[in-house]
C-alpha cells in the first residue's frame, strides 16, 4: 500500500438502533423475515448495457434496413444463442435475460436512471464488418462506416435499447445519459448537433414520462446530449443529466467543429441549472457517465515502467466541475455514474479533507471487462428525498445463460449489511475508504464486490483503486498512488 496523504480521520459513529427500526431489526434476527419500510421507495439504475446488434452478424442487413420497432421480430427469429461470455459485450440472449429480471424487480420501482453506453464497443467497426459481407451492403468499403448511414444505424440501436427498457418498465419514467460509445461518429466522438443526437432526441424525451423536461430540452440535448428534468416523485427537485464525454481527456471532435464550444456551453448551463435549482429550494439528482477524478485501471496499466496517473476529464473542465461538486455538495442528493463497469465510489472532500459528497459508480450489464452482469436498486424516502441504501442484483450463471435458459439473477449484497453501516451517505463511504486503507475485512469485501463476485481485485495495483476513491484531484492522487 502506498503512503497515505495525511488527512483528519472522521470519528466513527456508533451504529444506531432505535424505535421501530430496533423492533424491525429484532424481528429479522429472530424470524429471518425482512419487513419492508412502507415509507421507503425505490429507483433502479442500469448502465453500460453495450448492446451488440451484430451478434450474430447475419442479421445485420435486416436490422440496418428496418425501423427499430421491427427489431424485436427480427431478433425473435433467433432460435439458439448463448449469452455473451466474459470479455464480450451484451448480445440478444444476455439482454433478454437482463430485461426479464428488470421486468420483475421493476414492478415496484418508481423510475429508472441509465448513466450511458447503450451501444457496443467498436460499434462502427463491428457494423462495417457485419455489413461488408451482406448482399445488400456490398458497397461498404473496409471495416469502418461513416456519415449519415452510420449515424442512422447507431441511433436505431440506441432507440431499440431504450424502447426495450421502456417495455420492461411500463409507465415508469426512464432518464437516459449518454456514454462514450453512444455516437454515430466513434468512441469519445459524439458530434454536437449531429444526426445521432437529432434522431434520438424525441425518444429520450418520450421516455421521461412524468419526469417533465425543462423547456430547453431540445436545444441542449441536440447541442450536446445534456438536459434537466423534474424529479418524478419530488417536483421541487431536478434530475440533471450531463454528457461529460465532451469534457473527457479522450474526446475527439472527429465529426464536428463544435466540440469545444459545446463543452463550454454545457459547463455554463450546468452552473446556471445548479444555482437555479438550489435557489428555488430544490435538491439535485446528478447523473452522467464518467466518474470524478482518476482512472485507476488506466493508471495501473500505464504504470508498468514508471508511476503514471490517468485522469478522466481534461482541463479546464475537470477543475471547474470538481469545484461545482464541492460547492453544491450539500444540495446534491445523489450523483450516479457508470463507465468503469465495476462497483465503486469517488469521494469529494473539502479543504480540510473531510468527505462532503460522492459519486456512486454503478456496475455494468455488459461483461466485457470480466465482471458479472449486474444493476442496482436504490432505496429512498420520497418525503425527504434522502437516498438511504442500495442493493446489487447480478447474473450468477452467465456461462449457462442462453435463449433456452434465461439464467439466474439474485441479490448479491445490500450496502448497509455488507459494510456494516447503518446509513448510506458520504460519511459511510468515507468510513469504508478508511477501512480499505487499513486493509482487513473491509478490503476483502470491496475486492470481492468490485467485480460483482467474479473473482477479486488483484493485490497488484489495489492501492490505485483505493487512492481513486479518496482523491479526485492532483497532487493528492499522485502522492497517494506514486509515493511508495
Q: Which pLDDT tens digit goes with each residue over 69-82? A: 999 999 999 999 99
Q: Which pLDDT tens digit goes with each residue over 22-53? A: 444 433 344 333 444 567 899 999 999 999 99
List Cα–Cα distances, 298 to 187, 290, 440, 458, in angstroms. Answer: 16, 14, 25, 14
The predicted structure's pLDDT at residue 146: 59
| Cell numbers that stand for 13 in this block | 459513529
Q: Which is more confident, 199 or 304?
A: 199
Q: Note whether 365 and 98 are within 8 A (CB).
A: yes
Helix axes 259-279, 217-224, angle to 10 degrees: 140
Least confident range of 31-35, 157-161, 271-275, 282-286: 31-35
Question: How would residue 483 be classed by pLDDT, with cut points 50, 70 and 90?
Answer: confident
Whether the pLDDT of residue 7 is over 70: the answer is no
Q: Note whether 222 and 256 are within 8 A (CB).
A: no
How do strand 332-337 and strand 355-361 relate by DSSP bridges? parallel
| Sheet (strand 409-414) strand order | 174-176, 109-114, 41-45, 374-380, 387-395, 409-414
126, HSE (Cβ side, Cα atoms, 13 Å): 26
| Cell numbers that stand for 176 in this block | 437516459
Q: Which pLDDT tens digit goes with each residue over 185-213? A: 999 999 999 999 999 999 999 999 999 99
Q: What is the DSSP secondary structure assignment for residue 425, as one 8-state letter? A: S
Neighbours of 55 (CB within 10 A): 22
Going by C-alpha positions, the residue among 293, 246, 294, 237 that lies closest to residue 269 is 246
Pairwise CA distance, residues 226 & 230, whole Å: 14
> What is the per-residue DSSP string for 196-210?
HHHHHHHHHHHHHTT
Pairwise CA distance, residues 85 & 229, whole Å: 36
List Cα–Cα distances, 160 to 72, 111, 165, 203, in angstroms. Answer: 8, 19, 9, 10
The predicted structure's pLDDT at residue 149: 87
Q: Which pLDDT tens digit goes with each residue over 433-451? A: 999 988 889 999 999 999 9
Please provide the size of the chain in residues.
484
Neighbours of 65 (CB within 10 A): 13
Question: How would residue 132 be classed by pLDDT, with cut points 50, 70 and 90?
Answer: confident
Least confident range of 142-151, 187-196, 211-220, 336-345: 142-151
Asked whether the CA dihedral 55, 58, 62, 64 is positive or negative, the reply is positive
Q: Which of 3.40.50.40, 3.60.21.10, 1.20.1250.20, 3.30.565.10 would CATH assign to domain 39-482?
A: 3.60.21.10
- Segment 77-98 mean pLDDT: 97
Q: What is the DSSP secondary structure assignment for residue 138, as one 8-state letter? A: T
Helix axes 317-327, 259-279, angle to 10 degrees: 10
Helix (H) or strand (E) holding 411: strand 409-414
Peptide bond into 56 cis (omega under 30): yes
Question: How would residue 134 be classed by pLDDT, with cut points 50, 70 and 90?
Answer: low
Neighbours of 469 (CB within 10 A): 25
Mean pLDDT of the chain: 90
Percentage of the chain exceeding pLDDT 90? 85
Amino acid at each position: 500500500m502506498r503512503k497515505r496523504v495525511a488527512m483528519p480521520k472522521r470519528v466513527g459513529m456508533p451504529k444506531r438502533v432505535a424505535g421501530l427500526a430496533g423492533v424491525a431489526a429484532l424481528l429479522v434476527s429472530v424470524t429471518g423475515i425482512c419487513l419492508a419500510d412502507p415509507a421507503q421507495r425505490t429507483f433502479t439504475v442500469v448502465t453500460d448495457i453495450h448492446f451488440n446488434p451484430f451478434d450474430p452478424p447475419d442479421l445485420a442487413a435486416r436490422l440496418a434496413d428496418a425501423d427499430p420497432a421491427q427489431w424485436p421480430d427480427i431478433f425473435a427469429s433467433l432460435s439458439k444463442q448463448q449469452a455473451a461470455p466474459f470479455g464480450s459485450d451484451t448480445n440478444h440472449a444476455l439482454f433478454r435475460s437482463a430485461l426479464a429480471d428488470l421486468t420483475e424487480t421493476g414492478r415496484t420501482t418508481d423510475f429508472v436512471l441509465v448513466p450511458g453506453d447503450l451501444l457496443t464497443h467498436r460499434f462502427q467497426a463491428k457494423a462495417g464488418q457485419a455489413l461488408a459481407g451482406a448482399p445488400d451492403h456490398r458497397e461498404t468499403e473496409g471495416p469502418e462506416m461513416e456519415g449519415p448511414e452510420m449515424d442512422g444505424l447507431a441511433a436505431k440501436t440506441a432507440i431499440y435499447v431504450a424502447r426495450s427498457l421502456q417495455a420492461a418498465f411500463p409507465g415508469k419514467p426512464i432518464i437516459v445519459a449518454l456514454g462514450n460509445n453512444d455516437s454515430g461518429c466513434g468512441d469519445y466522438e459524439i458530434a454536437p448537433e449531429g444526426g445521432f443526437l437529432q434522431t434520438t432526441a424525441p425518444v429520450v424525451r418520450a421516455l421521461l414520462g412524468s419526469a417533465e423536461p425543462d423547456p430547453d430540452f431540445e436545444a441542449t440535448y441536440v447541442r450536446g446530449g445534456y438536459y434537466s428534468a423534474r424529479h418524478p416523485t419530488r417536483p421541487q427537485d431536478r434530475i440533471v443529466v450531463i454528457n461529460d464525454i465532451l469534457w473527457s481527456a479522450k474526446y475527439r471532435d472527429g465529426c464536428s467543429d463544435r466540440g469545444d464550444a459545446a463543452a463550454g456551453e454545457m459547463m455554463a448551463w450546468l452552473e446556471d441549472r445548479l444555482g437555479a435549482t438550489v435557489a428555488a429550494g430544490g435538491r439535485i439528482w446528478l447523473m452522467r457517465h464518467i466518474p470524478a477524478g482518476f482512472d485507476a485501471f488506466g493508471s495501473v496499466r500505464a504504470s508498468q515502467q514508471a508511476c503514471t496517473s490517468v485522469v478522466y476529464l481534461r482541463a479546464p473542465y475537470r477543475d471547474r466541475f470538481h469545484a461545482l461538486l464541492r460547492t453544491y455538495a450539500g444540495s446534491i442528493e445523489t450523483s450516479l455514474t457508470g463507465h468503469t463497469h465495476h462497483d465503486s465510489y469517488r469521494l469529494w472532500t473539502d479543504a480540510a479533507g473531510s468527505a462532503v459528497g460522492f459519486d456512486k459508480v454503478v456496475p455494468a450489464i455488459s461483461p466485457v471487462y470480466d465482471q458479472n452482469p449486474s444493476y442496482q436498486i436504490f432505496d429512498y424516502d420520497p418525503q425527504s428525498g434522502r437516498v438511504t441504501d442500495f442493493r446489487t442484483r447480478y447474473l450468477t450463471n452467465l456461462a449457462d445463460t442462453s435463449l433456452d435458459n434465461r439464467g439466474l439473477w439474485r441479490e448479491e449484497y445490500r450496502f448497509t449489511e455488507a459494510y456494516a453501516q447503518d446509513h448510506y451517505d458520504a460519511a459511510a463511504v468515507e468510513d469504508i475508504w478508511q477501512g480499505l486503507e487499513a486493509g482487513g475485512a473491509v478490503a476483502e469485501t470491496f475486492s470481492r464486490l468490485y467485480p460483482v463476485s467474479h473473482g477479486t481485485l488483484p493485490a497488484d495495483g489495489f492501492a490505485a483503486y483505493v487512492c481513486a476513491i479518496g482523491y479526485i484531484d492532483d497532487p493528492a492522487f499522485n502522492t497517494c498512488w506514486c509515493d511508495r
